[in-house]
């Protein structure tokens, strides 16, 4: 057990990748404010890296994809025992299982302050039959777990807050809107124009955002780059990220023009019920319309090689990939959902298209491919928007203000 000198703050997630890619700046800011911070999640590929960076980590037994009641009860009991042993000043939960199980455990362990963070409503509020069945089971538990003195819920979008408030799951007066995790504007920046007019290559860097997910595929730049504009999508390989629509839009453009390169960074996520089967991914890879890059640990450099960023997701909080692409000075194309609308001002720094509509997605990409000046203008506007509203420092200030308001700092 980690030695601590005062009641700690626990940041709890269902996956070490979530903490590694999205929450280390918050952990560091809290530590610099004088708090003892412990990161809690199941062991994985990133826990050793988290510890090597100087953060304290504790294991939690959880299977992300499991719906077996006895395993879920065991995971809740494990958190309860941890909370009882550590007597934390506060716990901060990320993703749905930690929000539900952690809130139950915190109530039983009498933790004084609980923050539940929804980065999006995710699979639970999706359109599948299984998601609808899970909602019937989970929503009554959420309603009981998320309310009460000392409980506060943070959302990335007003729409997500309205969904849970309208269902009487959270009292709106005990909620906060914090739009995303923010983006490091010094790491993600526009490239210097190369003699060919394309972005210059950057150095490799620690992977962030959706493209950093995975278990380590080839991280070198693809061979045989052409001068054709490059369209980049980065996400976990899930159906509800719009992977199928991206592949279909690439097919349409390959047939009708103009020429372009289509890159997809990211790995499957077997722990998610919406994970695309390996056989479908193999079929798309064999087709060759889209280049599957796998896990990339060099997202800043990869974005500097791209000309357009796209995310045709069905539901999102505030997508970090789009924030990183905006900071990198790229025009953006995303679905007309609230999370994407927060980053994309339609017609100003990119285009919004209906979800599950590959034809309209292809048309938006074709317009950008055909008009280099429009790409340049929209890319400049993307950088302005990222700098004005989504810097990592500004987002961290909002989290620190929340901690102060709740009496943790």
Distance in angstroms (rounded) separating the CA atoms of residues 124 and 119? 13
CATH topology of domain 210-390: Rossmann fold (3.40.50)
Same fold, 9-182+393-405 and 210-390: yes
pLDDT in tens, 361-385: 999 999 999 999 999 999 999 999 9
- % of the chain beyond a pLDDT of 90: 69
Question: Where are the extended beta strands (E) located within 178-270?
Answer: 230-234, 261-265
Give me the residue label for tokens 């280099």: 372
Could you read off the pLDDT of 83-118 as tens digits, one per residue? 999 999 999 999 888 998 999 999 999 999 999 998
Per the document, the length of the chain is 409
What CA–CA distance (Å, rounded) separates 281 from 71?
30
210: pLDDT strictly greater than 60: no
Name which CATH class applies to 9-182+393-405: alpha beta
Domains in the chain: boundaries: 9-182+393-405, 210-390
Q: Using CA atoms, how far apart are residues 12 and 171, in angstroms rounded to an integer? A: 22
pLDDT band at 72 (very low <50, low <70, confident <90, very high): confident
- Predicted pLDDT of residue 163: 83
Is residue 218 scored above 80 in pLDDT? no
Whether 306 has a pLDDT exceeding 50, the answer reads yes
Kindly list the distances between the CA atom of residue 215 and the CA atoms of 22, 80, 270, 374, 407, in Å, as whole numbers in the listed order: 17, 30, 11, 37, 39
Task: Give the separation between CA 243 and CA 233, rounded to whole angstroms.
Answer: 9
Whether pLDDT at 224 is above 50: no
Sign of CA dihedral 298, 344, 356, 63: positive
Lowest mean pLDDT among 13-17, 230-234, 282-286: 13-17
- Tell me: the pLDDT tens digits for 317-347? 899 999 999 999 999 999 999 999 999 999 9
Separation of alpha carbons 95 and 172, rounded Å: 19
For residue 116, what are its two tokens? 């539940």
196 pLDDT above the threshold of 60 = no
Task: Average the pLDDT over 293-302 and give the result.
Answer: 92
Q: What is the CA radius of gyration of the chain?
A: 21
Residue pair 61/75 in contact (Cβ under 8 Å)? The answer is: yes
Whether 30 and 3 have beta carbons less than 8 Å apart is answered as no
Supply the pLDDT for residue 255. 95
Q: Which of 16, 131, 114, 106 is nearest to 62 (CA)?
A: 16
CB 31 within 8 A of CB 50: no
DSSP secondary structure letter of residue 336: S
Residue with token string 């609308």: 341
349 in Cβ contact with 385 (< 8 Å)? yes
DSSP code per residue over 247-284: HHHHHHHHHH----EEEEE----TTSTTBPPHHHHHHH
The mean predicted confidence, pLDDT, of the chain is 87
Question: What does the pLDDT read at residue 308?
Answer: 98
Q: What is the pLDDT of residues 118-170, one digit of tens each?
A: 887 766 676 677 777 777 777 877 788 787 889 999 999 898 898 888 888 88
To the nearest whole percent, how much of the chain has pLDDT over 70?
87
Distance of alpha carbon 191 from alpha carbon 204, whole angstroms: 14
Which of 11, 68, 81, 2 is CA-nearest to residue 39?
A: 11
Which of 238, 320, 268 lies closest to 23 in space, CA to CA?
320
Q: In what order do the strands lie in the sheet with 308-311?
A: 291-294, 261-265, 230-234, 308-311, 332-335, 350-353
Give the DSSP letter of residue 407.
T
Rank 37-51, 125-139, 268-282 by mean pLDDT and report only the highest: 37-51
Cα separation, 100 vs 216, whole angstroms: 31
Beta bridge partners of 115: 92, 152
Q: Is pLDDT above 90 for 222?
A: no
Strands 37-41 and 9-12, bridge-based pairing: parallel
């Amino acid at each position: 057990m980690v030695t601590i000198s005062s009641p700690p703050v626990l940041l709890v997630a269902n996956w070490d990748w979530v903490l590694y890619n999205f929450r280390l700046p918050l952990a560091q800011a809290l530590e610099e404010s004088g708090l003892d911070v412990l990161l809690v999640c199941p062991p994985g590929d990133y826990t050793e890296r988290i510890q090597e960076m100087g953060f304290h980590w504790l294991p939690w037994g959880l299977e992300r994809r499991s719906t077996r009641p006895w395993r879920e009860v065991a995971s809740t009991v494990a958190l309860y025992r941890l909370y009882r042993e550590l007597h934390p000043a506060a716990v901060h939960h990320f993703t749905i299982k930690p929000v539900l199980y952690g809130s139950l455990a915190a109530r039983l362990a009498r933790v004084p302050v609980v923050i539940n963070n929804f980065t999006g409503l995710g699979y639970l509020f999706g359109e599948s039959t299984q998601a609808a069945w899970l909602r019937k089971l989970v929503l009554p538990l959420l309603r009981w777990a998320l309310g009460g003195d000392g409980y506060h819920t943070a959302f990335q979008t007003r729409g997500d807050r309205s969904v849970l408030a309208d269902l009487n799951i959270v009292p709106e007066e005990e909620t906060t809107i914090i739009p995303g995790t923010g983006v490091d504007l010094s790491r993600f920046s526009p490239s210097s124009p190369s003699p060919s007019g394309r972005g210059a290559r950057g150095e490799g860097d620690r992977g962030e955002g959706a493209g950093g997910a995975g278990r380590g595929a080839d991280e070198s730049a693809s061979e045989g780059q052409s001068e054709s504009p490059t369209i980049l999508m980065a996400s976990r390989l899930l159906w509800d990220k719009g992977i199928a629509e991206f592949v279909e839009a690439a097919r349409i453009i390959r047939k009708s023009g103009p020429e372009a390169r289509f890159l997809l960074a990211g790995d499957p996520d077997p722990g998610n019920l919406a994970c695309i089967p390996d056989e479908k991914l193999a079929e798309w890879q064999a087709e060759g319309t889209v280049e599957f890059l796998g896990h990339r640990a060099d997202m800043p450099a990869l974005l500097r090689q791209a000309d357009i960023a796209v995310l045709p997701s069905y539901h999102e909080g505030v997508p970090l990939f789009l924030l990183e692409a905006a900071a990198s000075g790229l025009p953006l194309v995303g679905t007309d959902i609230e999370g994407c609308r927060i980053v994309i001002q339609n017609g100003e720094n990119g285009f919004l298209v209906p979800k599950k509509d590959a034809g309209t997605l292809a048309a938006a990409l074709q317009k950008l491919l055909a008009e280099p000046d429009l790409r340049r203008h929209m890319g400049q506007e993307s950088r302005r928007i990222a700098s004005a509203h989504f810097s990592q420092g500004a987002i961290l200030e909002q989290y620190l203000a929340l901690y102060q308001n709740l009496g943790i700092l």
